[in-house]
Amino acid sequence: MHVDLQEIMLSEQQIKAKVQELGQRISQDYRGESVVLIGILKGSVIFLADLVRCISVPVVFDFMAVSSYGSGTQSSGVVRVLKDLDHSITGKHVLIVEDIVDTGLTLNYLINNLKSRGAASLKVCTLLDKPERRKVNIQIDYHGFSIPDQFVVGYGLDFNSNYRNFPYIAVLKPAVYQN
């Protein structure tokens, strides 16, 4: 385990099993349909790549990049779109794929933004959820793990662009991000 980590919260095997379960549920719910998966950059990339391989219905994926953190650990609540979708979602079934839902402020902005574009349906899939941090009511349709209010990295999640490559999710030592 890396020296900056306090403990491993979710193992590679636990994540893999959950991603397969989510993929099966999504496939059942969208049976006979195609779905556009919108990965929220950069954190969702690894989750999206694994998830899409577990979905048996036709999928297209696109990406958005948004920022509400900067280099800190607390959401500022001000959302900036850094990269928008490449294709229209009008009339399509859309599934937002997030790595983690924390306060819900960024996701709430995304949901409202994407609803205004005329999607046939809009749902949310997240690997991690911190419900005790929620500031707005968000419906999460596909939910991986509820986790406590700890700063986690790995499997796409980062701190200052580091640690994304770990195949597990771990708690970062406070001394690393409180400096």
SS3 72: coil
Calpha distance 16→14 (Å, rounded): 6
Following CA atoms 108, 112, 117, 119 in sequence, which dihedral angle do they give, to the nearest 10 degrees? 70
DSSP H helices in the chain: 12-29, 45-52, 105-115, 174-177
Calpha distance 137→145 (Å, rounded): 18
Q: What angle do CA 178, 154, 123 make, to 5 degrees?
A: 110
- List of residues 6+ apart from 73 with CB closer than 8 A: 151, 159, 177
Calpha distance 173→170 (Å, rounded): 9
Active site residue 99: no
Query: Which listed residue (102, 129, 141, 158) is catalytic?
Result: 102
How many other C-beta atoms can be found within 10 angstroms of the C-beta atom of residue 3?
6
Active site residues: 102
